[in-house]
Amino acid sequence: MVYVPVDVESKVLKECKRRRLSPRTAKSYSFWIHRFFDFCKKDLQYISKKDVRFFLEKLSEENKSGSTMNVAHMALRFLFEIVLERRMWIDIKYSKTPKRIQRFLSQEEVKRLIDSTINFKHQLMICLVYSAGLRVGELINLKIKDLELERGYGYVRNGKGGKDRLIVLSNNLIPALKNLISKECLSDDDCLFISNRGKKYSSRSIEKIIKNSARKAKIKNWKEIHPHTLRHSFATHLIEKDSDVSTVQAMLGHKSPETTMIYVHSSSANFLKTRSPLESL
């Protein structure tokens, strides 16, 4: 069995860190690079673009999704073009991924989800994800020093793409946030949410908390509810309340307005108000 040379793996991880890529991205790149080396069973100097193509074709034969193949493709491009600086331009076309309307909850369902969460800290995490449109990684890395509670806002530091952004804090949550900080004697450099073992929560732990609350709230297809569902709900509800796309884009930290536009299409309230032109004939 062929493995990635240690020095190459360390270079990949070092370059990911230098470019401020997320730990999840670095982990995914490392995984697919290992899979590729195991597949082609060649020393690094003998690998060609043809090997990359054969590897991606194998993934296609295994019925891997377009998004999975794209991550594998990007990992190999990152390895050869960025880390190893080899002139091996991988011009293989990316796999298309189906465009689906994002799942979101109604405001009534969000309320049921919150009310079904008995644990104070867990309830506060759910409220904060929904009220500020946070990604799960942004929630678990949020520090006390990132919050301006008296002014009603905070900052996401080093979010997706290595970007910082401003977030608005709901006035309804500020007393609860102050109570949590005081109760757990948190200092400025501490993360806002610390587990009973004194460590940061994991993404999987947050997902389990939300799924469990969704089950208790008897939300339809509760197994499909995850932290990002609340972020989708936040954006969709803002659009339904006639917030402009550029504002929602900034609040979500999207690079492109096209990404935010999916919530315009998801907004059922506005969509269902539109009448068919046949009715005016």
* 135 noted as active-site residue: yes
Told to judge if 263 belongs to the known catalytic residues of this protein, a careful annotator would answer: yes
What are the tokens at 151?
């002014």
Query: Catalytic pick from 11, 160, 216, 265?
Result: 160
10 Å Cβ neighbour count for 281? 5
228 tagged catalytic: yes
Within 10 angstroms of residue 128's Cβ, the number of other Cβ atoms is 24
Q: How far apart are CA 52 and CA 31, in angstroms?
A: 15
DSSP assignments along 225-244, one per residue: --HHHHHHHHHHHHHHTT--
Residue 157 appears among annotated catalytic residues? no
Catalytically annotated residue among 143, 157, 228, 265: 228
Lookup result for tokens 């989800």: 113
What is the rounded CA–CA span in Å between residue 153 and residue 169?
5
Region at 63 (left for phi over 0; alpha for psi -120 to 50; beta for the rest): left
Catalytic residue among 73, 135, 226, 237: 135
To the query of whether residue 254 is one of the catalytic residues in this protein, the response is yes
Quick check: is 53 catalytic?
A: no
The catalytic residues are: 135, 160, 228, 231, 254, 263
